[in-house]
């Protein structure tokens, strides 16, 4: 009986510890931003392998989104996009989109050397819907010439101000999601969404509280059971 109880306790503890581990499986990209995230950076990965595109090399890129400030009416982001596709293959990123909640308007803060246009397209190439922010290098979000985009092996940075005239972003926070990109390549164009690889450094306090409470209860039950089983007959 004691061995069975110990086995149950061990399984419960192991399961709890697994719950504390961050999920790094590459879920659909989503970034939730509050005032506590000022100064934090989030990484979005894009990868479209050759077995999907049919291109001779993988199409890949990374994006780093750093929260510079958040006020009641504006979120300021520093965005760095790195086209990590092999330089031997001509592939340029010509458009980058995202969905914001609440819906925000966008403008560049300062100059942007590659992505010079901004729009609220609604639809993004590749079947993405509800895209209200699109940064593009050509004349429109739908695409453009390879030579105007972010070429293979290159990176670029720009600041993006996202604002609202209703409500308070300090109360609602901002959720950014989907993050589709459009690659214009020597073998045609390809569009796909991003995945969020950012891993939280520590578990949420509520998770730690529940886990600690559960472990404490298991310890109390074990002591009572052990005491009962060791009483003299």
Residue labelled with tokens 């699109």: 134
Residues 6+ apart with CB under 8 A from 12: 214, 218
Separation CA 205–CA 3 (nearest Å): 33
Separation CA 76–CA 163 (nearest Å): 9
From the CA atom positions of the chain, what is the Rg in Å?
Answer: 24
> Over 50: is that where the pLDDT of 21 sits?
no
Average pLDDT (220-230) is 54
pLDDT on residue 55: 83
Average pLDDT (125-152) is 95
Alpha carbon separation from 165 to 22, 36, 110, 139 (Å, rounded)? 36, 22, 21, 27
Residue scoring higher pLDDT (121 or 214): 121
Separation CA 156–CA 113 (nearest Å): 7
Could you read off the pLDDT of 147-172 as tens digits, one per residue?
999 999 999 999 999 999 999 999 99
Separation CA 72–CA 102 (nearest Å): 12
Q: Enumerate domains of the chain plus CATH numbers.
A: 27-196 (2.60.40.1170)
Using CA of residue 94, residue 175, residue 195, residue 130, what is the dihedral sign?
A: negative
Global pTM value: 0.74
């Amino acid at each position: 009986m004691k061995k069975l109880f110990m086995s149950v306790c061990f399984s419960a503890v192991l399961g709890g510890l697994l719950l504390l581990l961050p999920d790094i499986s590459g879920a659909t990209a989503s970034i939730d931003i509050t005032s506590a995230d000022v100064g934090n950076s989030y990484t979005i990965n894009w990868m479209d392998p050759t077995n999907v595109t049919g291109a001779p090399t993988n199409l890949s890129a990374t994006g780093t989104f750093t929260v510079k400030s958040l006020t009641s009416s504006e979120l300021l982001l520093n965005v760095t996009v790195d086209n990590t596709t092999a330089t031997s293959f001509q592939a340029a990123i010509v458009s980058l989109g995202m969905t914001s909640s609440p819906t925000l308007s966008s403008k560049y803060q300062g100059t942007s050397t590659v992505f010079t246009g901004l729009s609220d397209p609604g639809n993004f190439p590749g079947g993405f819907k509800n895209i209200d922010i699109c940064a593009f290098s050509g004349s429109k979000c739908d695409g453009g010439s390879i030579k105007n985009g972010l070429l293979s092996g290159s990176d670029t940075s720009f600041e993006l101000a996202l604002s609202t005239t209703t409500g308070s972003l300090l109360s609602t926070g901002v959720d950014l999601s989907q993050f589709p990109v459009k690659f214009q390549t020597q073998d045609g164009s390809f569009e796909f969404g991003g995945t969020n690889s950012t891993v939280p450094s520590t578990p949420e306090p509520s998770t730690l509280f529940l886990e600690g409470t559960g472990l404490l209860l298991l310890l109390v039950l074990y002591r009572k059971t052990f005491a009962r089983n060791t009483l003299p007959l």
